[in-house]
Structure 1
């Protein structure tokens, strides 16, 4: 490709380019080809050039602006290499568009899998957005948030009675199953909340379905271009939408609970649903992957793969203490603060969660079966807690996106 021909090249109109993220201390941008379903990472220099490939700006103008920005010229060889790479990936207008990779052939697994619930997730989300569009208005949001705060105050005020009702439900398998089913339904609405808010900000919901890894069965709502929403505020708001849906669903529960007389079976069910529903919302707020609180934190800081990046930072910091490895010279000061803070905070949080789980299991088992059973239960609780709290399974793992991954890149 000659320089004269390349001077007026343009990026395809449907190509999506994200804002700036920080990955392992390095600023990066994401580029998504929605036709091929592939996403790539590029650096700030490539992003600078890519944003100026509009079919009008010449190579000389781009090279001049590049030199002013980065203090070095963009020579013909570098230009040809960059344009050739973009053309090979089908990102340049007029070049052949790569076809989407065929779905990977997986072995049948009855213990885990997924299934779509709707044929057109985008249309379904659009209908839900039209139906609940009023929830984005200030006249609804302000009173709703005030009502949520009043509900939290009421729960604290009525905590002893609510705890007593929850204990009653936990001792009744049928009542517990009813409350658990209601909470499972709210989890599905939680996922739809993410999709509706993403649609409101211009995102595309690619799939709505059920995913299972027995004994866990959950609903999911996949937003293909979630990382390409225009602003951090939009990404943080989308990540927090599910928790807000959970809290809104709980608003009528406390008044209903207060109106019922003490000892009424329905009152105990409502009390347990309210208390466990708030616990569920608090669980989603945890800043651990894949919880919404983690995504809110990562997006508010502009971090890509924040948890895994913090683990690598901690590993390099420990290696540097004993004089090994490359050290932390490649990390800017802000990244060092962000990664070290998360590594220490997440480790402390995991220890606290596992400790609480182990102590609770130990006391419950000791009260019913004796100290030996309590010690065994505590040990098992530590193992199970570490397995689920520290992400390991396909449900909770922080997947490492590679160039060309189909669908959505992990947040």
Structure 2
């Protein structure tokens, strides 16, 4: 079933609910429950089941004589109660919505982390940090808060539960992509954030057919939850510690001159580092608070070139700052509350040979002679500016040539500093000089 069909089905469902009178009140006062269980994305299926109150048998809607299994009446009563009696619920305490609490975190943190890291080596230091982070109720709720809704564009599950009595129908549906598929939507009642409803509905579904049973039951919740904890709070920290343990001398030298904000050993291929399949390197994000909180130095070097890279950024930092004193983009960054400026440094210079060659290719693609700036790249500075404004972001890459030429290499965003709107009309690899 396509995304368009799912949208239509959801619309028709809403229309159906609005037409229904919702006069049903006793929990056992229903004729039939219809379940739509569908998916579109990497695969496709659509199942329709029914349960009749006179026999509590789950059957195919199209083949009512085909009995799938007997349903416990207590199970349907719980589902009907949650749908009929639960008004709009909040998601202010996500862990509670998922049936977990602070005690669950304390008792399970160690096992959750062990399961998450069972296929790789870790250090005792990161193990301790991770377990304490998982136990942190505030951080755990922050991580759990993202395990709801539907954001992916290739994954479209759908569950609809319709409770029918005569001409009256009340229905709940979910299109959630995460474990437990929260929230549930009940028209005229709002959203239901309760994993219990999901788990109960999962029990109705058969075990054999392709269906949403596994997702509804929350079987993968623990893994998804710890992965969120890791990506939000632990990944950068573990990368930092791994790099520090591998290259303590480099950290010691840089730490005397900068605050090390990030560090990571990685195999990377980039616009300034090159390599089709990635080359092993050490990347730092450095800050000097005596300059500005808005400025970072991003250094990249091969693991065999660490000495020359760290030495050059330490000794050339002041010269870099002197060369930027009159630069209007740099000055704008210093005076902007929501800006971050990043000065790149590869081996012993800001604009690496790889970055220069890439820039020349984009020049040519833009219809400009790729050799236009030959002989002018000495001491050029590769600078990136990120600005946040009214929930929007602008990202730009610049090349500052030695004698004041400002080249806007790339732009993404609907604004650029305080420049006229027409400047930001061209997006992507702009490759044009900007007069300021």
- TM-score normalised over the length of structure 1: 0.22
Q: Which has the larger radius of gyration?
A: 2
More helix by share: 1
